[in-house]
Structure 1
C-alpha cells in the first residue's frame, strides 16, 4: 500500500487539473479527484466503492468521456504504486480499446493517454502475480499498433519467458494485435508443433482473424481441440472461440472453409458422445452455437450443415439442442422427422420444441399432434400461428414464382381441439413454462389466428368464438371477420354490432372493424375512430393507420385529418405524433390531392434526420412525398442534402424518381450515380426493412440506371453467400434474408428482362 508521502507524489498536480471543465457519464467531473484519492484508501470498502464509481463514470459501459484522458496518468501511477493493480490495469485497457467516445477534444485522445503511460505498465508483464500479468497483456493489446516498438519488444520477451499455457495464449494474441506482420511466424510455429491446447486455440483464432493460410490440417486441428472453450479461453477477450473462427473465415470470403470447420466440430461432438466423454455436452453446445451463428451469415450454411447435425437428431440427449436450428432455418430436413415425431409425443419443453419444428417443417403429422396436445404445446401453437399469419413463411425451395409455403392445413381434429380451448375457463393454466404467463395472454390470439387462416372452413367454431367474444374481443373479432358467412350468420353480425357499441374504444374498434369487413357498413368504425382521433392519445399513429385502411370509406373523417395537419409543429414533437401526422397526410393526399396541406408536414418529417432515432420518421416522410409525384418538387432542397446518408438514400431516391419519372438526370444527379448510392446502402448486417428499401429504389430507378457492374452487385445481393439481412430478432434473421433474396431475384429479372433468373 502506498504511504502517505508516496501518495502525494503519485497524485501530484491532481488538484491543478480543472476537473470542472471536464465531464463524464453523470455530468461534471469535479468528483474525480476524490475518487482517485479514495482508490488508495486503506479501508477496502472505500477503495472498492471508488473503483466502482470510476467504472460507472469515466468508463461507463465502455464509453469514454472528456474526463477520461486526464484521469489516465493518475490511474497508471496508482498502478505503478501497487494500488489495485489488476483492476486498474483492466480499466486502462477498456479505455484504450473504447470506440465509443463522448466529448473528447480529439478522436482517440483517451487511447493515446493510455499509450503515453505504457512505460509504467510494461514492467508488469513480468510481475509475479499471474492475474496482473494476464490483465496487463490484455490491456497492452487494446492499444493496438499505436503501442509502439517498446510494447512489441516487451510482449515478444514475455512470449519467450512465459510458461503458463493460458497466459502464453494471451501473449500470442496480443503480439498479433500489435504486430500483425509477425503473426504468421508465431502461429505457424505453434500449429506445426504439439504445444499446449490454449496456445493452439489462440493460434487458430489469430490465423482466422488475420487472413493467414488455412488448410485441411488447420481444420482438423480445430476438430481435435473441440470444445475449444474448455482450454482456459480468457473472459477478458469476450469471444466464443469456435464461433469466432467460423465468423472470421466467412468474413474473409472463405465460406466453404467456415462451414467445413463447423461441420468438423459437429462431427467431433458426435464422436465425443459415442465415446462417453465428459466434454461431449459442452462440444455439442459449442458446435450448435457456432452453426447457428454461421447460418445467420452464410446462406449456404444451413443446407450444408444439416447432414452433420443428423446424428444429433437421433440422440435423446442432444436432439433438444438442434431443434431450434430447424425452426429458424426452415430447411427441408426429412431425415429429422422421425426423431422429432418421437420426441413430440413426450412431455415437457423438448416435446413442445419438437412439435414446433415439425410445424415449421410442414410435416403432415404436425396438425394431428397439435390437436392431441394443444393444451401443453404453446411453442408449437405459436409456430402454427406465425405460419398462418405469414410471419415465418419462406419461398418454397426451387420455386421460381416466389410463392410461399402454405400455413398449417385445416384439420378437423385440430379444429375440435381449438374449440375446446376457446371454451375453457379463463383461469385454466397450461402445463408448460408459459403456464399462466405469456401463453395465457397470447393463446386466444394464436387460436383466433389459426381459425382466421382457415376462413369459413372453420365455421363450426362460431359458437365458441361468440362465447369468447366478450373475454377476448380483439383476436376473436378478427377471427369472426374471416370465419363467418355474412349471408348465413346474421347472429354473428348482431353480436359484433353489440360489441362495437360498448366497452373500451380498442375493443369497440376491433368489433366495428370486423363488422365493416363482413357487411361493408363503416358507420360504427367511423364513429369509434372519430372519437380516437379527437382524443389525440399516445396511440394516435395507430388510429390513423386504421383510418387509412378504410380507403374511400374514410372520407367522413377528412375534417378531423385536416385539423390534425393544421396543428402547429410544436404539437408534433414526439415520434407517435409526427408519424400520425404523416399518416394523415398520406390519406389526405390520396383522397383529395391537396398538396398544400401535405407538404409542410412532410418537410417536418424530413427534418427529423437531425434527431436521434429519427431515420424511420424520415423514411415515412419520404413514403408520403412519393405519393405526390411531381408535386413533391418543392421538397428537393430538403431531400438532396440527405442523400449521403446510406440509411436514408433508398427512400429518398424513390421520391426523386416520382418527381422526375422519365428524366435522367434527376435534380442534377444521373440515375447511374443514384444507383451507386442506393446499392451502397445494401451492406451485410442490414435490417430487413432497410434491405428491402434498396430493392424498391432499384426498381424505381429502372433498367437504364444500371451498368453491368452494378447489376453484378444486385446479383450478389440475390445469390451471394453472405446474408444481407443480419440485424433484428435472432429467430427472424434467416427467414427475413430469404424473403429479401426472393425479392432481389424478382428485381433482377425486371431490370435485366431475363426470365431465366431463378
Structure 2
C-alpha cells in the first residue's frame, strides 16, 4: 500500500497548514487497526491535505497511495477513502452533459475546479491534474462495485460514473448490480448512479431512464421508489407521474412506518470534525437524502415543494418532520412564494418533546424574520416556558426569543427586559431589539444603562457598544447622548476598532438629530481628524450647518479614479440634499467610477441633491444587472424618485415577477438574505404603487 512513500519529498510540499511532512503519518493512519486512529487520519486528510476542497501538491502526491488503500481487500473504512478520492477528483462539480458518447469516451464537460476558474487551458493546474489522476485510476471502481464491504459498494457508484473512461461498460454493470444487490443503502446509491449517468451521458441514457421509470412504480420498496423519483426528476422530469406529490408523501409515510435504523456497526465518535458531523446526522439519513434530492430537482416548482413539505410535516415520524424542517430552509432561502402554511406547521414542531426537532424549527424560524409571524404564537409560548434561556443567571439570548423578536412581536419585550437587566448582555441583543420597532421603546432606558456599562479601553468595547448604539439609534432615544459622548470623548486613540466605534457613535447621533445638540462641540472637534466624515455627517443631522460640514466632505471625495474610498462622504452629502449642490460636479464624475458601489452611491447622491434623473438611471440599470446585491440600494432611491424613476420601472417589475430570491446563490448563504430580499420586494412594490 505504501511502497515508495518514504521516497517522496513530503517536506518540500505544502498543505493548508504549511509543510506536508506529516502527510505520511496521516496516510498510514488510514490503514490503522484502531477505528479512532482511522477516523482521526481521515479527518486530517480533509482538514489539511484537502482543506475545504483545495488541492495542493501534497494532495496530488497522495492519490496513488489512496488508490493503493482502496485496492486492499479487508481494510476497514475504505468507503471513506473512496469518497475522499472522489472529492479530490472534483466529485462535486456540476453534472454537466458529457461530450458525444461512445465506447472509451465520456469525459464530463465543464472541467472547472470549485473556485469556478477555467482550468482546461492550464495543464499544470492542481485541480486539472487531480481530476486526471483520479480518472487514470478509475478502473479500480469497476472492481469495487462488487466488493465484500457494503460501505465501499455504497460509496463507489458516483465516482465510477463520474470518472470512468468507459461509460459503455459502466451502465450494464450498474443495472446488473442493482438486480443482484440486497443491501438497501447500496441499492439507493446505485439508483443515484443511474441518475448521474443519465445526466452526464445523455446519448447513452435511455436504458438508465427507462429503468428509473420502472423503479418508480410498485412493487418496489418505498425507499427505492423515492430514490428513483428523485433521480427521474433530475434527468427526465417529463417521465414523472402526474400525482407526484401525493405519491411521494404516501411512499414516505409507508417507508417511515417500517423504517428501522440500519444494522451498520457502531462507528467511532472521536472529537474530530468527522466525528461531530456523524453525531449531527439525522436519525434517518437515507430518508433525508431521498427527499433532499427530490426537493432539489423540483427547483422553482414551489407549489409542489410546499405541498411536499406539508406532507412531510404531517408525518407521525419525528425524523421525517425534522428532515422536512431542514429541507424547508433551502426552499425559503432560494425561492419566493406564499409560505404561511408551511411556516405555521414548522411552528407546531416547537411543541415536540424531541429536542432535535425543536432546535431545527427554531433555527429555521430565526432567519425568516417577518415571514416567521405565522409561528409567533408557538414561539411566544416556548419563550414563556423556557425562562432559563433568558431570565435567570447569566444573560443569554436563546434562539426562540431571538426568532420571536425578529418577527416584530411585542411579546418579546418582557423577556428582553430581563435580559437587559444584566450588566453584560449578549452582543446581538441590540441588533435583535431593532426588529421590534416602536414596541421596543420601553427597552430604551435599559439599553442606555448597558451602554453606560461599556468600558472605555476594553478589547471588546466596539463589540459591546455597536449593537446597543444600533438599537438606540433605531429608537431615536436622544436621552442617551451623554453615554454616547462618554465613549466618543473617552475612548483611547489606540483602542482596537476605534474608527468603527466612532462610526457607530456618530450614526447614533445622526439618528437622534437636533435632539442631540449637546454633542455639537465634540463633533466640531472631530472635523479636522481621521473621523471627519463621520463627524460631519452627524453634525449636519444635529445642527444643519452646511458651511461647517461641506469642506471635510468635499476633501474626502478624493481624486478622480479612486476606488471606492469616497462612499461614506458620498452618503453624507446625499443626506444634505440640495444644501450640497456645490458637490454635484464631483459626484457626477464619480458616477463613472470603476467601483460599482461607489458609482451607485454617487448616482443616488446626484438624485438626492440635484433631482436630475438623466445621469442616474443609466448607472442604476448597469449596476442592477452587474450585481444583484446593489438592487436594494437602487430600489430605495427609486422610491424617493417617484415618477422620475419610471424609465427604470421595467427592472422593478421584472424583479417582482422573478421566482428566485435576488441573493440566492450556490455554495452559501447569508443569515439576512431572506430579510434583504423581502425588503427589496417591499420597496419594489412601493416604486410601482407610487408611479
Q: Using the alignment, how far apart are the partners of 2:331 and 2:450 within structure 1?
A: 42
2:407 is aligned, of 392, 396, 412, to 392
Name the CA distance, whole Å, in 2 between partners of 1:748 and 1:34. 64
TM-score by length of 2: 0.66
Q: How far does residue 87 in structure 1 lie from its aligned partner after superposition?
A: 3.5
Larger radius of gyration: 1
C-alpha contact (below 8 Å) 1:725/1:740 kept by paired residues? no
How far residue 92 of structure 1 moved from its aligned partner, in angstroms, is 0.3
Does 1:300 pair with 2:300?
no
After superposition, the Cα gap between the structure-2 partners of 1:265 and 1:442, relative to the gap in structure 1 and judged at 3 Å, is closer
Alignment partner of 1:718 out of 656, 667, 676:
656
The residue aligned with 1:209 is: 234
Structure 1 Cα separation of the partners of residues 82 and 297 of structure 2: 32
The reply to whether residue 738 of structure 1 matches residue 678 of structure 2 is yes
- How far apart in 2 are the matches of 1:77 and 1:423? 60
Question: What is the aligned partner in structure 1 of residue 687 from structure 2?
Answer: 747
What is the root-mean-square deviation of aligned Cα atoms in Å? 5.9
Preserved contact between residue 243 and residue 289 of structure 1 (Cα < 8 Å): no
Residue 520 and residue 223 in structure 1: after superposition, are their counterparts in 2 closer, same or farther (change >3 A)?
closer
Pairing 1:454-603 to 2, within 5 Å after superposition: 474-476=447-449, 526=485, 529-532=488-491, 534=493, 536-548=495-507, 549=509, 553=517, 555-557=520-522, 560-565=525-530, 583-584=534-535, 586=537, 591-594=548-551, 595=553, 597-600=555-558
Q: Shift of the alpha carbon at 1:600? A: 4.0
Q: CA deviation at 1:212?
A: 1.1
Corresponding position: 1:132 with 2:174 = no
Counterpart of 1:225? 251
- More displaced 10-residue stretch of structure 1: 547-556 or 309-318: 309-318
Larger mean Cα displacement after TM superposition, 691-700 or 100-109 = 100-109
User: Is the alpha carbon distance of 1:561 and 1:221 closer, same or farther for their aligned partners in structure 2, counting shifts above 3 Å?
Assistant: same
Superposed counterparts of 1:14-93, under 5 Å: 15=7, 22-32=13-23, 36=27, 51-82=42-73, 85-93=78-86
> Higher relative contact order by CA 8 Å / sep ≥ 6: 1 or 2?
2
* Alignment deviations for residues 480-508 of structure 1 (CA, whole Å, 9 cap, x no partner): xxxxxxxxxxxxxxxx9xx9999999999
**Alignment match of 1:155 (pick from 174, 179, 190):** 174
Higher mean alpha-carbon deviation, 553-562 vs 118-127, is at: 553-562
Which digits, 9 at most, give the CA deviation of each residue in 1:201-259, with x for residues without a partner? 221221333461344432222112326785879989999336525642552x3111112
Conservation of the 8 A alpha-carbon contact between 1:246 and 1:294: no
Partner SS for 1:226? helix
Partner of 1:185: 210
The structure-2 alpha-carbon separation of the partners of 1:21 and 1:443, relative to structure 1 and needing over 3 Å to count, comes to: closer
1:576-612 Cα deviation digits (max 9, x unpaired): xxxx6763575589642125531349987726xxxxx
Other structure's SS at 1:64 match: coil
Distance in 2 separating the partners of 1:700 and 1:451: 22
Cα distance in 2 for partners of 1:194, 1:651 equals 63
SS at match of 2:324: helix
* Alignment equivalent of 2:184, drawn from 143, 146, 165: 165
How far does the alpha carbon of each residue in 1:126-170 deviate from its partner, in whole angstroms, 9 at most, with x for none?
A: 2122222222224335x3698855545543443344332321210
Preserved contact between residue 600 and residue 619 of structure 2 (Cα < 8 Å):
no
CA distance in 1, matches of 2:550, 2:534: 14
Whether 2:642 is the aligned partner of 1:681: answer no
Deviation, 1:556, is: 2.9
Asked if structure 2 preserves the Cα contact closer than 8 Å seen for 1:159 and 1:171, the reply is yes
The 3-state SS of whatever aligns with 2:621 is: helix
The structure-2 alpha-carbon separation of the partners of 1:32 and 1:543, relative to structure 1 and needing over 3 Å to count, comes to same
* Superposition deviation, residue 25 in structure 1: 0.7
Deviation at 1:302, TM superposition (A): 1.9
Q: Deviations over 1:274-293 (max 9, x none)?
A: xxxxxx32333333444455
Distance 1:293 1:582 in 2: 41
3-state SS, counterpart of residue 156 of structure 2: helix
Kindly state the Cα deviation for residue 191 of structure 1 after the two structures are TM-superposed: 0.6
Q: Residues of 1 paired with 2:465 and 2:35: CA distance?
A: 62
* CA distance in structure 2 between the partners assigned to 1:33 and 1:321 by the alignment: 41
| 1:58/1:65 contact within 8 Å kept | yes
CA offsets, 1:354-412, max 9 Å, x none? 9x9xxxxxxxxxxxxx9xx999999899859975xxx534xxxxxxxxxxxx84699xx
Q: 1:539 to 1:146 in 2, by over 3 A?
A: farther
Check the 8 A contact 1:125/1:133 in 2, yes or no: yes
Contact 2:13 2:58 in 1 (8 A): yes
Moved more, 180-189 or 548-557: 548-557
| 8 Å Cα contact 2:656/2:684 also seen in 1 | yes
TM-score (norm 1): 0.61
Q: 1:293 to 1:652 in 2, by over 3 A?
A: same
TM-aligned CA distance change 1:635 to 1:221, over 3 Å: same
Going from structure 1 to structure 2, the CA distance change for 1:78 and 1:544 (only over 3 Å counts) comes to closer
Residue of structure 1 equivalent to 2:137: 117
Distance 1:678 1:749, change over 3 A: same
Would you say how many aligned residue pairs link Structure 1 and Structure 2?
600
Q: Distance in 1 between matches of 2:433 and 2:610?
A: 48
* Whole-Å separation in 2 of the counterparts to 1:307 and 1:382: 15
Counterpart position of 1:641: 594
Worse-superposed segment, 156-165 or 144-153: 144-153
Shift, 1:76, TM fit: 1.5
What is the CA–CA distance in structure 1 between the aligned matches of 2:456 and 2:54, rounded to whole Å?
52
Distance (Å, rounded) in 2 between the aligned partners of 1:519 and 1:117? 70
Contact 1:675 1:706 in 2 (8 A): no
| CA 1:597–1:537: 2 relative to 1, 3 Å | farther
- Equivalent residue, structure 2, for 1:240: 288
Q: 1:522 to 1:108 in 2, by over 3 A?
A: same
Contact 2:13 2:20 in 1 (8 A): yes
Report if aligned partners of 1:678, 1:698 keep a CA contact under 8 Å in 2: no
Report deviation, 1:118. 0.4
Matched residue, 2:385: 352
| Residue deviations 1:549-568 (CA, integer Å, cap 9, x gap) | 26674553456534533xxx
**How much has 1:74 moved relative to structure 2?**
3.3
What is residue 484 of structure 1 aligned with on the other side? none
**Cα offset, 1:335, TM superposition:** 11
